[in-house]
């Protein structure tokens, strides 16, 4: 997991070269006006999703990906993003290959970050993570999630 300010995203290019496409899209400045939905890019290994939802004081299960790296950016509102060790959770159902996701039971968060506009979080394949966690009061969140295929 990587957690940092958006103005430092370029610093992580040596670690994850596909971030170049993320930077290009963010630099266009149109992301805040785009409607909710799933978007493709001219790089078949990079797509993104814009969603809105309310955080929850009793958030759901952890999720884990096998092939995709998530770059999560809150555009409006705030939420807590949680991560735990793989050894602390167990698979709850089958792997959904189309969406590259498995949901997990158990596990207490071992790392929790406050996701607000101007920051980003990267979750790599194999890292159990959970979104939609309320940080005190319920918040409406608009979020951008880039999916970088491995």
| Interval 38-79: pLDDT, tens | 999 999 999 999 999 999 998 789 999 999 999 999 999 999
- Answer left, alpha or beta for residue 132, where phi above 0 means left and psi between -120 and 50 means alpha: left
pLDDT at 119 over 80: yes
* Mean pLDDT confidence for 87-93: 89
The domain tally of the chain equals 1
pLDDT score at 141: 98
> Where in the sequence is the domain holding 52, given as residue range(s)?
2-149
User: What are the tens digits of pLDDT across the range 2-43?
Assistant: 999 999 999 999 999 999 999 999 999 889 899 999 999 999
pTM of the shown model: 0.94
Q: Output the domain CATH number for residue 38.
A: 2.60.120.370
CA distances from 115 to 13, 39, 87, 106 (A): 21, 22, 25, 23
| Half-sphere CA count of 107, side-chain side, radius 13 A | 28
98-112 residues labelled b (16+ CB within 10 A) or e (exposed): eebebbbeebebeee
Strand pairing report for 37-40 and 46-54: antiparallel
Note every long-range contact of 49-52, with CB atoms under 8 Å and residues 24 or more positions apart, other chains counting: 49/144, 49/145, 49/147, 50/75, 50/142, 50/143, 50/144, 51/142, 51/143, 51/145, 52/140, 52/141, 52/142, 52/143
pLDDT score at 60: 86
């Amino acid at each position: 997991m990587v957690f940092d300010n958006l103005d430092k995203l370029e610093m992580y290019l040596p670690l994850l070269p596909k971030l170049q496409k993320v930077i290009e899209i963010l630099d266009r400045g149109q992301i805040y006006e785009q409607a909710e939905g799933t978007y493709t890019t001219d790089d078949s290994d990079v797509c993104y999703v814009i969603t809105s939802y309310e955080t929850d004081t009793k958030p759901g299960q952890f999720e884990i990906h096998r092939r995709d790296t998530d770059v999560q950016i809150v555009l409006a509102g705030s939420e807590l993003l949680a991560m735990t060790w793989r050894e602390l959770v167990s698979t709850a159902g089958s792997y959904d290959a189309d969406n590259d996701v498995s949901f997990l039971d158990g596990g207490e968060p071992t790392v929790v970050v406050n996701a607000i506009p101007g920051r980003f979080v990267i979750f790599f394949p194999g890292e159990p993570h959970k979104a939609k966690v309320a940080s005190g009061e319920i918040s409406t969140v608009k979020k951008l999630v880039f999916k970088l295929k491995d």
